[in-house]
Amino acid sequence: MTGIPEYVLDLDQRDPLAAKRREFVLPKNTIYLDGNSLGALPRNVVARLDAVASRQWGEDLIQSWNKHDWIDLPKRVGEKIAPIIGAASEQVICCDSISVNLFKLLCSGLELNPARSVVLSQKDNFPTDLYIAEGVQNLLGESRCQLEVCAADQLESRLDEDIAVLLLTQVNFRTGELHDIQALTNAAHEKGIVVIWDLAHSAGVLPLELDAWGVDFAVGCGYKYLNGGPGAPAFVYVARKHQEKLRQPLSGWMGHKQPFEFSPQYQPAQGVERFLSSTPSILALAALDAALDVYQDVDIKQVRAKSIAMAELFISLVSDKLSAGSLTLVASMPSAQRGSQLSYSHPHAYAMAQALIELGVIVDFRRPDILRFGFTPLYTSFVEVWRAAQILVEAVESRLFLDSRFQQQHKVT
């Protein structure tokens, strides 16, 4: 591999986020370009988990619900996430998973539009979003919930008065293509449609203004760009204007107005806390709570600017070195119209991903033929982007990926 160009070194020297890298645990000799699937470990999470497990749980046992305020962790974590997604206080709660939270919100959205039944989504939306909608359809019947899907470029023209809910993900998980949340939300509202946004690939890496854009509901992931750890709790955003109208369907005891009265009759809590259901997972919430501290002094606009710059650098390096047709950039629009990832298609994309991982560049694969490179500006450097591009070019030109050891399919891709 040739020496690193001065202009790449200069990009890192001028990077206002460069110091953030020191706040993460990053393995040596590894370039991690998969933060869009699982964020790296923030250093302070290790100490926090040790404190919660060893001292709080280990020494104070059940007293910790009060002594260490475990009971309010879902709300406290939600309050940390709120400014990252452009939400005022008391509109975000952290609990459960995206799938469970989508079920709550989809039922709530249908409740707000009782005279309508159609749930419109994108045909290549993330599967769990479609599966949950299908599940609600099976539960309620098509007279109350009917899932309809269309291509991304047909969404706005399909919006009409028979649609109850528009259910979309801002960033396409395969291609990285980006929806304009404000424009689509406004267009849907003009037709009386309730809108739910999935921000799994957005929160923590894209500037979001949910309040200003008039979004009704949103869900998001705690373990991608928010770095909360594998299986970290998700979050729910419920616009204040809707909160007191709704009685979400998973009316578990933690969403009760007074859970420790143990009343046999359910009374929903005030505000967004009514979207809680079960006992919160304290270890998982504590990890996410600590991880979010890395955002305390971060300007999301700087994160976005660096993300775009890294993508443009990678594209130029790969296109300069590889002949046309070697790899195909799936979403070839300007980087400002993509999330913080690049997707390339190749007939041997899975094997290529495995070869890159062996060479120290961790990426991932999505069926049928997508090789994904995720850029996480808080801990990815421009030098790493440059090195990853060189390694990719060498792997393609050498056809290393054709080796039989890269053909074995793993459960997780």
Q: What is the CATH number of the domain that holds 118?
A: 3.40.640.10
DSSP reduced 3-state for 122:
strand
Among the three residues 275, 295, 315, which one is the final residue of a domain in this structure?
A: 295
Sequence letter at residue 268: P
Quick one: pLDDT at residue 324?
A: 67
Residue 53 lies in a domain: no
Residue 117 lies in a domain: yes
User: Does 126 qualify as catalytic in the annotation?
Assistant: yes
Q: Are 191 and 219 in contact (CB under 8 A)?
A: no
Residues 241 and 324 occupy one common structural domain: no
Selecting among 129, 372, 375, 406, the annotated active-site residue is: 372
- Please check whether residues 31 and 77 belong to one and the same domain: no
- Report the distance separating Cα 302 and Cα 378, nearest Å: 10
Q: What is the CATH number of the domain that holds 376?
A: 3.90.1150.10
Same domain, 338 and 244: no
223 is catalytic: yes
In a domain, 272, yes or no: yes
Final residue belonging to a domain, choices 267, 295, 323: 295
Q: Are residues 305 and 263 in the same domain?
A: no
- The last residue of one of the domains, among 269, 295, 321, is 295
Task: Write out the E strands in 279-369.
Answer: 328-329, 341-345, 361-362, 364-366
Residue 365 annotated as catalytic? no
15 in a domain, yes or no?
Answer: yes
Phi, psi (rounded to 5 degrees) for 268: -65, 145
Q: Are residues 253 and 334 in the same domain?
A: no
Is residue 198 part of the annotated active site? The answer reads: yes
| Per-residue pLDDT reduced to its tens digit, 356-377 | 999 999 999 999 999 999 999 9
Low-confidence ranges of the chain (pLDDT < 50): none
> Is 252 within the bounds of a domain?
yes
Q: Cβ distance 281 to 260 under 8 Å? A: no
Residues 6+ apart with CB under 8 A from 365: 349, 350, 353, 371, 372, 413
Structural domain includes residue 61: no
Catalytic annotation, pick one of 104, 116, 224, 338: 224
For residues 267, 268, 273, 279, the Cα torsion angle rounded to the nearest 10 degrees is: 50
User: Do residues 227 and 270 share a domain?
Assistant: yes
- Rounded to the nearest 5 degrees, what angle is found at the Cα of 311, between the Cα atoms of 306 and 315? 150
Q: Are residues 116 and 148 in the same domain?
A: yes
The two tokens of residue 367 are 């069926």
C-alpha neighbours within 13 Å on the C-beta side of residue 48: 20
Split into its structural domains, the chain has a count of: 2
- Annotated catalytic residue, options 24, 32, 103, 126: 126
The pTM assigned to this predicted structure is 0.97
pLDDT for the residue numbered 300: 98
* Nearest Cα residue to 377 out of 316, 290, 289, 311: 311
Q: What is the reported pLDDT for 323?
A: 75
Structural domain of 371: 6-41+299-406
CB-CB contact of 41 with 233 (8 Å): no
Question: What percent of the chain lies above the pLDDT cut of 70?
Answer: 99
Whether 224 is catalytic = yes
Catalytic residue, chosen from 32, 173, 223, 350, is 223
How many residues are present in the chain?
413
Residue 231 is assigned to a structural domain of this protein: yes
Q: What is the pLDDT of residues 116-164, one digit of tens each?
A: 999 999 999 999 999 999 999 999 999 999 999 999 999 999 999 999 9
Q: What is the pLDDT of residue 237?
A: 98
Catalytic residue among 15, 34, 198, 364: 198
Q: 286 and 137 in one domain?
A: yes
